[in-house]
Amino acid sequence: MSGRATFRTLDKDLGRITHAEVAQMHAFRPVWRLGLSVLCLVGGLLLIMALSDAAPAMLTVGAGLIVAGWLGIAIGSNDVANSLGPAVGAGAIGLLPGLILVALAGLAGSVLAGDEVTDRLARGVVELAPLSGAAEIPMVMLAALIAAATWITLATGIGLPVSTSHSIVGGIAGAGAAALGLQAVAWGTLGMIASVWVVTPIVAGVLAGGLLMLLRLKVLEAEDRGRAALRWLPALVAAMGGLFAAYVMLLLRLPSLALPVAAAAAAASYANTRRNVLEELAQHPRKPGVKRLLRPALLTSVVIMGFAHGANDVGNIAGPLSVILRGRVIEGQIGLVPTLVLIGAGLSIAAGTLFFGRRLVNMVGSGITRLNTGRAFCVSLATAVTVLTASGFGLPVSTTHVAVGGIFGVGFAREWLDRRRDRRPEALPAEETRRRILIRRSHVVTIMAAWLVTLPITGLLGALTSVLVLWVAAP
């Protein structure tokens, strides 16, 4: 095998991710135009508030619902490719059934596991108690939503991929600081969230790399790939299905059912995967295809990834919205999270997935931008586990940045395995080596720029919007 064929795949995968990001920008254009319309509509409502005697509370709720609805559509349409693109590209599921499956999984994750992140954003970033009972409470969160929506719209327009989670955290901190002073911002919580943004891509990289090594050592490079696949893949998918089923039962507060339901899910996953592997071996006994062997595992990861995405990203909408809709102290707590808010936010994300996700998945699921099936499975599962863990602690994270961490982990793991087997590639020209190094650095710089730029910009936008909204609403 030539050196150029075996040379490190990390740069190739990062290049595909770059193409996927470009595809996201083009596919996101209809939602971007909708975002501009939303901002104009909200600006009109604020103008009406300033020029008339209309009740500020009603206009605040109306504007909050409009901006939150658009943010949900943007999240659902832009992030669906993270979970569905590889599975559609591998033929594990059709596009329309996949969109429906991801939308339902995301809605389930929003309702069952979205309350922790939602509560953190509603009450953990800024201390709103000094405004207890005042009309300013919902306006602070409206300002945060407008700031996040404005930055996402502007950044998308200039081709800069940014995170909704980062944007909403910055918007809340800036709006709260403008209304209550810097002392109202929970700087310790803000620092913890920012540190998690750094740690989670590393965790995902370790998990994805470890999973890739397991697959390669035990299945893909085994002397008898068919027998190895029959031994390991059903067990792996069974473990995934069983653990996820137990997790859902615990979320439903049904601990007594966790073990039996997990056992049933594991048994069903094992039987289904074993049947699919046997069918593949019957058709291709000498060289079973990796893509076809991994279809059941990819499909399982689609469900878990969609659930994780809903669990974490719903808080970006439901957190501020819960404060807007219930902007007063209730039993000593501000912005309690009603289930209806989680359902509404989850439905907006699902709507974005169903109505605007098709074009993006087609682009990202194509042969140009799609990752290798095995690597895509490792990245998807590692991303889902990392995001679900963060959601359990109520910490908003960027799904895309976590996935890029998984890409790095998979690339480094493959390089380590190749060096271990002394499969060193031929030396490349100095210009090509330098170009590949620059590709890696550019992705690190992109992620770091998103962390360093989004938070202060949305904080400033949140502060300015908060001052504007409070001034407009002043009697």
- pLDDT (tens digit per residue) in 68-105: 988 888 888 777 766 676 677 667 788 888 889 999 99
Highest mean pLDDT among 231-245, 281-295, 351-365, 410-424: 231-245
- Mean pLDDT, the chain, rounded, equals 79
The domain limits of the chain are 3-473
Taking residue 19's Cβ as centre, other Cβ atoms within 10 Å add up to: 16
The b/e string for 344-364 (b: 16+ C-beta within 10 A; e otherwise) is bbbbbbbbbbbebbbbbbbbb
- Strands 329-330 vs 333-334: parallel, antiparallel or unpaired: antiparallel
pLDDT at 265 (0 to 100): 93
422 CB contacts (<8 Å, ≥6 apart)? none
Task: State both tokens at 88.
Answer: 């559609």
Per-residue pLDDT, 268: 93
Mean pLDDT of 244-260: 90
Assign 134 to helix, strand or coil.
coil
CA R_g for the chain: 23
For 277-312, give the DSSP string: HHHHHHH-SSS--HHHHTHHHHHHHHHHHHHHHHHH
In this predicted structure, what is the pLDDT of residue 10? 57
Q: pTM for this one?
A: 0.82
pLDDT at 128 > cutoff 90: no
Nearest to 304 by CA among 475, 105, 121: 105
pLDDT score, position 446: 64
14-28, 36-50, 122-136, 244-258: lowest mean pLDDT where?
14-28
Provide the percentage of residues in the chain whose pLDDT is more than 70. 74
Query: What pLDDT, on a 0 to 100 scale, did the predictor assign at position 146?
Result: 92
φ and ψ at residue 69, rounded to 5 degrees? -65, -40
pLDDT at 329: 37
Alpha carbons 411 and 14: distance in angstroms, whole number: 9
Position 333 scores a pLDDT of: 46
Q: pLDDT tens, 441-454?
A: 565 666 667 667 88
Arithmetic mean of pLDDT, 50-55 = 65
The structure tokens listed for 83 are: 């979970």
Cα–Cα dist 380/374, whole Å: 10
Position 131 scores a pLDDT of 61
Q: How far apart are CA 414 and CA 213, in angstroms?
A: 7
List, for residues 137-192, the tens digit of each pLDDT value.
888 899 999 999 888 888 766 666 678 889 999 999 999 999 888 998 999 999 99
**pLDDT, position 360:** 61
